[in-house]
Amino acid sequence: MIRVNENYLKLKASYLFVDIAKRVAAFTAAHPEKKVIRMGIGDVTRPLPPVCIKALHEAADEMAAEATFKGYGPEAGYEFLREAIAENDYRARGCQIGADEIFVSDGAKCDTANIQELFAGDIKIAVPDPVYPVYVDTNVMAGRTGENVGGRYQGFIYLNSTAENNFIPELPKEKVDLIYLCFPNNPTGAAITKAELKKWVDYAKENKSLILYDAAYEAFIRDESLPRSIYEIDGADEVAIEFRSFSKTAGFTGTRCAFTVVPKKVKAYTSSGEAVALNPLWNRRQSTKFNGVSYPIQKAAAAVYTAEGKAQVKALIDFYLENAKIIREKMTSLGFACTGGENSPYIWVRTGCESWSFFDKLLNEAAVVTTPGSGFGSCGEGFIRISAFNSRENVIEAMNRISSVLGN
């Protein structure tokens, strides 16, 4: 008899964004005449930067000629891209990260999900609340939690991110082995300072814990005093793995390219306390289960690091940040407390009522899709997240519609 992985049965029936898509589909079916504006899932709307398109075309031409055709590429990524990442994203900011510590992949979502294969089944895990649901659900799937009781899985240590702590959680009171952090944060949009991040690095060093640092939104940081990488903190290369993505930086959500940094110094321990380097283990995992990102896509990603590419990416992010400013200002003027939207594409809005009812009100009365905060965890109840990834025209129209529905 084939038996099922019963851990899957502990999960909520569907993934948050699937739930939202169902409600939106029902609304659209009932009101085909209404133009729905989607500010829910953080999916980019602007085309790829021209340098990336040019690189894609050139790489496609290379695939058309026998002399330049490429078959399987290196599983961890082509050297030209790994080196460009190490140089521009890290060494240029004073972080001593080498190309052989970069693993190119098809998404930060998959990497944050897959990395937990490297850890024992009975480790203690701390996750922020609210949180990107992938960190939680994938550990549930792997059997690292108990049942969901009152919206929280037993076995996790939840780190509350609330208005009282400016959405930067406090250190756990007990010892934990694995810590998920994401800054600028999805969903709250909060950014962390170097001093606050240092406390986490110090905690991890003291407790032999590991931090999984999701920096998918670092390109939105405009405040130069804020860290863009955890490796800007001394000693973090001993206790942190960092995830990055070209999705939100350069519009690659549909194109797929990301990377994970596993420094050679980062270790996990056997039950007898022997240190094991994680870089070779991740390399082993990727080379066994992953065949790399396609050559044309890696060429397109590498183009982001040319002088032209940097300017085009900055313009792209500036555009979304201006959207974020418009949203934040409008929601604030309507009397809603907001966080994020400054070094982040997400605006976290306190609704003053239950998240899903506020979501439904905006969908039904304004035809605007947001994300209910409670979908990210129980501390998200009473909030919605608005994404700034949209056209200027749609953002302005959505804000006008919301003003007419919610304005006095």
Is 109 a binder of ligand MLT (CB under 6 A)?
Answer: yes
Query: CB-wise, 158 or 389, nearer to ligand MLT?
Result: 389
Using DSSP, state whether 114 is helix, strand or coil. Answer: helix
Task: Retrieve residue 348's tokens.
Answer: 């976290």
Closest approach of ligand MLT to the CB of residue 298, in Å: 20
The residues in 6-45 that bind ligand MLT, with binding defined as CB under 6 A, are 41-43
- Provide the 8-state DSSP code for 48: P
Closest approach of ligand MLT to the CB of residue 263, in Å: 24
Query: CB-wise, 11 or 41, nearer to ligand MLT?
Result: 41
Task: Retrieve residue 2's tokens.
Answer: 């084939």
Q: DSSP for 155-180, please give it.
A: TPEEEE--GGGTT-PPPPSS--SEEE
| Cβ within 8 Å of residue 266, ≥6 positions away | 210, 237, 238, 239, 240, 241, 277, 278, 279
Q: How far apart are CA 37 and CA 58, in angstroms?
A: 35
Total binding residues toward ligand MLT, as defined by CB under 6 A: 6
Query: CB-wise, 41 or 123, nearer to ligand MLT?
Result: 41
Query: CB-wise, 21 or 157, nearer to ligand MLT?
Result: 21
- Asked if residues 386 and 225 have their Cβ atoms less than 8 Å apart, the reply is no
Closest approach of ligand MLT to the CB of residue 137, in Å: 12
Bond into 49 cis (ω within 30): no
Which residues is 159 bridged to in the sheet? 128
Closest approach of ligand MLT to the CB of residue 50, in Å: 24
Closest approach of ligand MLT to the CB of residue 257, in Å: 13
- Asked if residues 136 and 154 have their Cβ atoms less than 8 Å apart, the reply is no
Q: How far apart are CA 385 and CA 371, in angstroms?
A: 5
Query: CB-wise, 279 or 370, nearer to ligand MLT?
Result: 370
Query: CB-wise, 42 or 263, nearer to ligand MLT?
Result: 42
Residue nearest to ligand MLT (CB): 42
Query: CB-wise, 21 or 171, nearer to ligand MLT?
Result: 21
Closest approach of ligand MLT to the CB of residue 280, in Å: 28
In the shown chain, the binding pattern of residues 120 to 159 toward ligand MLT, with x for contact by CB under 6 A and - for none, equals: ------------x---------------------------
Closest approach of ligand MLT to the CB of residue 250, in Å: 14
| Cβ within 8 Å of residue 200, ≥6 positions away | 171, 179, 181, 211
In the shown chain, the binding pattern of residues 67 to 106 toward ligand MLT, with x for contact by CB under 6 A and - for none, equals: ----------------------------------------
Query: CB-wise, 49 or 107, nearer to ligand MLT?
Result: 107
Closest approach of ligand MLT to the CB of residue 308, in Å: 26
Q: Among 388, 303, 288, 275, which Cα is nearest to 341's?
A: 388
- Asked if residues 373 and 348 have their Cβ atoms less than 8 Å apart, the reply is yes
Find the binder of ligand MLT among 161, 186, 209, 260 (CB under 6 A).
Answer: 186
Q: How far apart are CA 79 and CA 100, in angstroms?
A: 9
Angle between helices 295-303 and 50-64 (to 10 degrees): 150
Q: Using CB under 6 A, list all residues that contact ligand MLT.
A: 41-43, 109, 132, 186
